[in-house]
Structures are given as structure tokens and as C-alpha cells.
Amino acid sequence: MRTTEVRAALTALFICSLSTGCSPLAPQPDHSKYFVLSPLTDGETSTAAPIGTKGTSNLTIGIGPIEFPDYLKRPEVVTRTSANQLDLSAERRWGEPLDKDFARIFAENISRLLKTQQIERYPWPVRTHVDYQIMIDVQRFETTSDGQSELVARWIIKDGAGKDLYASETSATLAATQGESGSSAALSEDLEKMSREIAAQVIELHGRDVPVSRVGNLN
């Protein structure tokens, strides 16, 4: 190659390097999309279980601890492709850590369903009195490669002294709708289902004149 051709090639390369689209060192466009869970709306609280002989607006509800699988504590959206394999999305991200998003939305759902603003997140101060404590152990909270959301969680309701009153398990699944936010919307509805089940049980326990210790069937 002649000297003039070499100079021309170097000049073209230099000009291209000044363009953000040509330089390998230039910042690459970020195609990430961020998702969050959504709470039930105020209009949806009307379908909650009816309040018994005692209202719940003055209750203080303690929420937590909430145990969450470590494999879900990551920014990437996780999709289960088989019983033993997970796929981490290269572009789809959670807007905040999923375990924190889960806890925040659950607390908001419970507040709306029980019509109480007195929600304490674990750990609360030692001197804080709670009427009921809700503990949750999440087993699964993800979507599958065939477009199904899945929530499996065990939960326990305790009284203010830490005595078990009721224990159960929620298993929820839903076909995710089309669109980029379909998976997060389906998971939000699964979480709503569990929130309603727990709120209904708190209402039932609180409606009794004399609370009875009871542990439900986990099967």
C-alpha cells in the first residue's frame, strides 16, 4: 500500500473514531428496561373479606421478617427455564432489589386491605407494640419460559406476644399478558392474591371475641 493510501486510511480511521458510532471505546447505548411490582388499587380493596365484629383501622400490623431466595436477589429479571435451570435477562432489570420491592408492595396491600396506616416493617423498635405480626418465607417468585408467573410462599400470623395464631401457604400462578410489563404485572397479581388471603385471615382472627391459638395446615 502506498504512503498516500496509508495516510488516507489513517485519516478515515481518525475521523471515524471521533464519531460515537464508530469508536469501540465510545459509550454503548443502554437497552436496559426496568420494571417494578404494583400494588392493588383503592378500587380493588372493596372485594376484600368483610370486616367482622371489630374494625381493623386501629390495628398495628408488623410485617416481617420476609425470607427471599438468594437467586432472586439480583437486578436481572429471572426466568425459570426448567426445574434446575434459570435464565438471567441481559436487558430486563428490576427497578429496585426484588425482595425489597416485594416487601414494600405487600405492606402497601395489607395497609389498604385492612384500612390501617399503622404498618411496622421488621425489625421494629423493641417497645413498639404490634397487634399481629406476619412472617413470610418465599419459595418461588418468578416467571417461567412458557409465560406463567409463579408465587409459592409460606406465611404465619402471630399475635403481639409472638404466639402463632395461624399458618398457611399461598400458591399462585397466572398467565402473563403480552407486552414487556406482562411478567411484572402477573407477579403483582400473584402477590395481591397472597395479600388478600392473609388480610382475610387477620380479619377473621381479629373478629373473634376471644382469640384462639390456631395453626393451619401447611399442606
Q: pTM for this one?
A: 0.79
> What per-residue confidence (pLDDT) applies to 181?
73
Q: What is the mean pLDDT of the chain?
A: 83
Give the CATH number of domain 34-207.
3.40.50.10610
Task: Give the tens place of pLDDT for each residue, 41-75.
Answer: 765 554 444 444 468 889 999 999 999 999 999 99
Cα–Cα distance, 214 to 110 (Å, whole number): 21
- The arithmetic mean of pLDDT across residues 103-116, rounded, is 96
Could you tell me the residue ranges of all domains in the chain?
Answer: 1-30, 34-207
The answer to whether the CB of 171 falls within 8 A of the CB of 148 is: no
- The arithmetic mean of pLDDT across residues 108-131, rounded, is 94
What is the distance, to the nearest Å, from the Cα of residue 33 to the centroid of all Cα atoms in its chain? Answer: 17
- Grid cell 411478567 is found at 183
> What per-residue confidence (pLDDT) applies to 47?
40
Instruction: Output the nine-digit C-alpha cell for 191.
Output: 402477590
Spatial CB neighbours of 18, under 8 Å, sequence gap ≥ 6 = none
> What per-residue confidence (pLDDT) applies to 91?
86
Q: Which helix (H) or strand (E) holds 140?
A: strand 132-144
Confidence of residue 18 (pLDDT cuts 50, 70, 90): low
